[in-house]
């Protein structure tokens, strides 16, 4: 079985990740995770030090009907990497 090494995201990819989570774009988030893995979800910060979790929570996605799925994708996946 071959082991695949994921490329680290560029600063532009991290900026895109923060926008993806800010606007709750779940399909794009899944694509990001497939490309870069889940570690960047934990490490990503904006210029003010805000994390992916700040973006999800601070922009009202916890009140959305699919918020449980969004939070699951962000955190359940981080335990499987």
Asked if pLDDT for residue 73 goes beyond 70, the answer is no
- Is residue 68 one of the residues assigned to a domain? yes
Residue 41 inside a domain? The answer is yes
Q: Which domain holds residue 52?
A: 11-79
Q: How many domains does the chain have?
A: 1
**Torsion angle of C-alpha atoms 3, 41, 67, 20, degrees rounded to 10:** -100
Does residue 6 fall inside a structural domain? no
Residue 3 in any domain: the answer is: no
69 is a domain residue: yes
Q: Residue 39: is its pLDDT beyond 50?
A: yes
Contacts of 42 (CB under 8 A, 6+ apart): 51, 52, 78
pLDDT(3) > 70: no
pLDDT at position 41, please? 83
Q: How far apart are CA 24 and CA 18, in angstroms?
A: 10
pTM: 0.72
Tell me the C-alpha distance between 32 and 50, whole Å.
Answer: 18
The pLDDT of residue 79 is above 70: no
How does the average pLDDT of the chain come out, rounded? 77
């Amino acid at each position: 079985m071959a082991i695949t090494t994921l490329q680290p995201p560029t600063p532009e990819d991290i900026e895109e990740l923060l926008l993806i989570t800010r606007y709750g774009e779940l399909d794009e988030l899944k694509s990001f995770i497939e490309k870069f893995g889940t570690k960047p979800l934990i490490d990503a910060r904006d210029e003010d030090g805000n994390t992916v979790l700040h973006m999800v929570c601070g922009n009202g996605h916890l009140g959305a009907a699919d918020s449980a799925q969004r939070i699951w994708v962000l955190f359940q996946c981080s335990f499987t990497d």
